[in-house]
Amino acid sequence: MMMAAGSANSLVSLGVISAAAVSLAGLTACGSSGPARPARISHVVFLKLEDPSRRAELLADCDAMLPGIPGVESYAAGRHLDVGRDSVDGDYDVGLYIGFETETDYAGYVEHPDHVAFVEQWKPALAWLRVHDIVDETE
C-alpha cells in the first residue's frame, strides 16, 4: 500500500486521527460509564485522491464493497467535516472507519476478495493514504 507523504502537520494529524478513532470507539475515561465501543479494533483510513472530484465514486465503492465483509462489526465512511478548528487535519478526501472484534476478523478482512479488489481498483487513483489501527483492550 502507499505511504503518506510527510508533512509539517504529521504530529497534529496523528493526534487528530487518534482522537477521532478514540471518539469513534466510544471510549470514556477509565472507570467511568458511557457509550459502549462499537468494536475492539478500530481500523482508521484516510485517503487523498489525485482527482478529488471522484470522492462520491470512492464513497459509493466503500459502502458497496467493505461493510459486508465477514468480521466487520462497525463501519463508517465520509468526507472531512470542517468545524473551523485549525488543529483539525482536513487534507484528505475520504475517511473510513472499520471495527473488528478480533485480530482474526481483521486478517480475514485484509485478505477478503472484496477488500483486495477495492485496494487494487483505488490504489492507482490515490495521492496517498494513511492507515491507523487502534486496539481497545478495556472490557
Residue 17 clears pLDDT 60, i.e. is over it? no
Strand 41-49 relative to strand 94-100, pairing: antiparallel
Angle between helices 113-122 and 103-111 (to 10 degrees): 60
C-alpha cell at 112: 477478503
CA 101 remoteness from chain centre: 15
Q: What's the CA gap between 114 and 106, in Å, rounded?
A: 13
Q: Tell me the pLDDT tens digit for each residue of 95-130.
A: 999 999 999 999 999 999 999 999 999 999 999 999
Q: Are 2 and 119 in contact (CB under 8 A)?
A: no
pLDDT at 37: 82
Per-residue model confidence (pLDDT) at position 35: 85
- Residues paired with residue 73 on neighbouring β-strands, in sequence order: none
Higher pLDDT, residue 132 or 36: 132
Q: Are 29 and 138 in contact (CB under 8 A)?
A: no
Q: Name which of 77, 83, 89, 71 is nearest 7 in CA terms.
A: 89
User: Cβ(43)–Cβ(75) under 8 Å?
Assistant: no
* pLDDT band per the 50, 70, 90 thresholds, residue 1: very low
Between CA 38 and CA 72 the distance in angstroms is: 10
The pTM of this model reads 0.76
Q: Dump pLDDT digits (tens) for 18-73.
A: 444 444 444 444 555 788 888 999 999 999 999 999 999 999 999 999 999 999 99
Return the CATH number of the domain spanning residue range 39-135: 3.30.70.100
